[in-house]
Amino acid sequence: MKIRLARPAVAAVVGGALLAGSALVGSPAYASPGAADAPTGQSAPLATTLDAIDPGTTDPGTTDPGTTDPGTTDPGTTDPGTTDPGTTDPGTTDPGTTDPGTTDPGTTDPGTTDPGTTDPGTTDPGTTDPGTTDPGTTDPGTTDPGTTDPDTTVPTGSFRLNHTSVWTGQSITFGQNGTEFSDPVDDPSTLKRVVSWGDGTSTVLSPTTFAAAKSYTRAGNFKVTVTITDPAGNVSAIPAKNVAVTVPAGKASLSRKSAYQGGIFKVNIGKVPAGATKYRIDWSDGSASPHKASTKSVSGIVLYQYKWDAAKKKYVQVGTGKLSGVRTIKISWGNDQKGYGAWQTVGNINIVKDSWKPSLTIKKPSSPSRAASWKTITGTVSDKGSGVRHLGVTAFRVTSTGKTYCLTAARKWKRYYTDADVYKYCYTTGVKVKIVKGKWTLKLPSGLGKNQFFAVEAWTYDHANNFRTTYRTAKITRS
C-alpha cells in the first residue's frame, strides 16, 4: 500500500532571492513525495322497445273517426224543426253546404286517417318482435358458468443458478427468462414468482425481473426453490437446486499487537484456501487493498480515515484527524469466477498516539565561510514515536551577480527565477539521503565558491506525519 505524505507549509521566497545578506528571509517550503497520492490500494418493475313505438301512439283511436264524427255538425244542431226541411229544403242548402256532408264523414272519411294508414301493423309488434330482444338472443348459456370449467392447470417453469458451491459472502445468481415459465390459461405477466433461498429469506420477482442475486452469511446446504402462482391460485412445483456454502480455511496473522499512528505493521499469510486466487485486506480506516494469493506478506499503516470516491475511482482522505485505539484488521479470500467471500478477522492492533516531532540537525562546519567546508554536509535525524519516514535536503547559492540556484533531487544545481521554480525543481522531494544509525550525509556538486551566499535546508516527516525542518546559512568568502 502507498503511504500518504502530508505537504508542509511553505515560506515565501521573497523577490526571487533566497538570501538577504547572509541569512534566509524565511524558512523555505517543501513538498514531500506522494503528497497528492491517496492510498489507491491501501496496502467491496376499458331498442327500440314495443313501448317506444307502441301502436297505441298512432292507434286508430287517436284519429278515431269519432273526432270528426258527423255528430259534430249533427243535423240535430239545425233541427229540421227550426228550419223546416221544407223551408230550407235540403235541396236549397244542399246538405252538402251545411249538410253534415260539409263535414261529411266522407270528407274526413275515417279512411283518411283510416286506421289502416297507421295500421298497427306498421309498427306491428312483430316488427320489434320481443324475439328481437328475446332472452334467447343472449342465452344465459353464453355466460353460464357451467360452460367454463374452473382453471386447475398449474403453471410450468424451470430456473438456473450460476453456482452451486460458494464461500460465505460470495454471490450466486438465480436466472429465469421469459421462455422458462408459462401458463396455458394466463398471461405470464399475471403470474406471481417467488424465489426461496433456503435460509429463510426469499425474493419476489416482478413480471419483468429475470435474475436475482444472493449471498449467504453462514455455512450449510441450502435448497433454492421458485414457486409460480397463477390468478386461480394454482402453484407450480419446480424441483429445488441445492447450494453448498462453506467458510474458506485460510490463515493470516499480524506482525505486531500495537503500533504508533502511521507506524508500519504487516499482515502475514500463513495458508491460502484451496481455490483462492486473490485476497483483500480491510485496514480498519475505510480503505481496502487487493493482492494476489501468492503475496505472502503485506505492509500497512493506520493513520487517517478514508472513503471510496466513485468519481475518482480511488480512496480519498476524510479530514485531518488521526485514528487511534484498537483497530480490527480483516481479510477476504476470493477467486476470479465467484468474487470475494465474507470478511474474516485477522486480528486486533492497538494504534498509539504519536505527538512527537522528529529531531533534525545540520552540523555546522568548523570554517563556515569556506566553500570547501560545505563540500560534504552532515547531520542527524531521529524520532521518538513512529519513526522517520522521509528526509529531504536541498541547498541554495546566490552568486555575486545575483544569480540564484537550488539543488535538484538529481544533485545538480538548477537556476531558478520564481518560487514556482523552487517548488518544481528542488522542493518536490529534495535530495534523498541515506540515514545510517541516525546520521545522514550529503555531498555537494561543484559550483559553490568565493563571494557567494549559501544555505542548506533539511526537512523530515515521521510516519505519523509530524514534521520538522532546519537550515543553516553562510557567506562564503574563501574557497
Contacts with 257 (C-beta within 8 Å, 6 or more apart), sequence order: 348, 349, 350
pLDDT confidence band for 338 (50 / 70 / 90): very high
Contacts with 236 (C-beta within 8 Å, 6 or more apart), sequence order: 154, 155, 156, 157, 181, 227, 228, 229
Identity of the residue numbered 198 = G
Residues 468, 259: Cα–Cα separation, whole Å:
21
DSSP, collapsed to helix, strand or coil, labels residue 47 as coil
Residue 373 φ then ψ, to 5°: -65, -20
Q: pLDDT, tens digit, for every residue of 18-75?
A: 444 333 333 333 333 443 333 333 333 323 332 333 434 444 444 443 444 444 444 4
Residue at grid coordinates 505472502: 296
Q: Is the pTM of this model over 0.85?
A: no
More confident residue, 195 or 82: 195
Residues 122, 302: Cα–Cα separation, whole Å:
106
pLDDT of residue 19: 42
Cell of 158: 424451470
pLDDT of residue 147: 61
DSSP state of 153: P
Contact at 8 Å (CB) between 194 and 204?
Answer: yes
Pairing relation of β-strands 211-215 and 202-205? unpaired
Residue 422 φ then ψ, to 5°: -60, -45
Residues 252, 399: Cα–Cα separation, whole Å:
60
Closest CA to 328 of 347, 343, 341, 344: 347
DSSP state of 417: -
Cell of 90: 235540403
Cα 211 from chain centre: 18
Both ends of the chain: CA-CA distance in Å?
Answer: 47
How many CB atoms lie under 10 A from the CB of residue 267? Answer: 26
Pairing relation of β-strands 344-352 and 258-260? parallel
Q: pLDDT, tens digit, for every residue of 287-309?
A: 999 999 999 999 999 999 999 99
Partners of 187 in the β-ladder = none
Contact at 8 Å (CB) between 83 and 95?
Answer: no
Contact at 8 Å (CB) between 13 and 394?
Answer: no
Sort 1 into a burial class: Cβ within 10 Å, 0-12 / 13-18 / 19+. Answer: buried
Identity of the residue numbered 285 = D
pLDDT confidence band for 80 (50 / 70 / 90): very low
Residues 324, 319: Cα–Cα separation, whole Å:
15
Residues 199, 214: Cα–Cα separation, whole Å:
11
Q: pLDDT, tens digit, for every residue of 213-268?
A: 999 999 999 999 999 999 999 999 889 999 999 999 999 999 999 999 999 999 99
How many CB atoms lie under 10 A from the CB of residue 226? Answer: 24
DSSP, collapsed to helix, strand or coil, labels residue 74 as coil
Residue at grid coordinates 301502436: 55
Contact at 8 Å (CB) between 80 and 88?
Answer: no
Closest CA to 279 of 289, 268, 291: 291
pLDDT of residue 144: 55
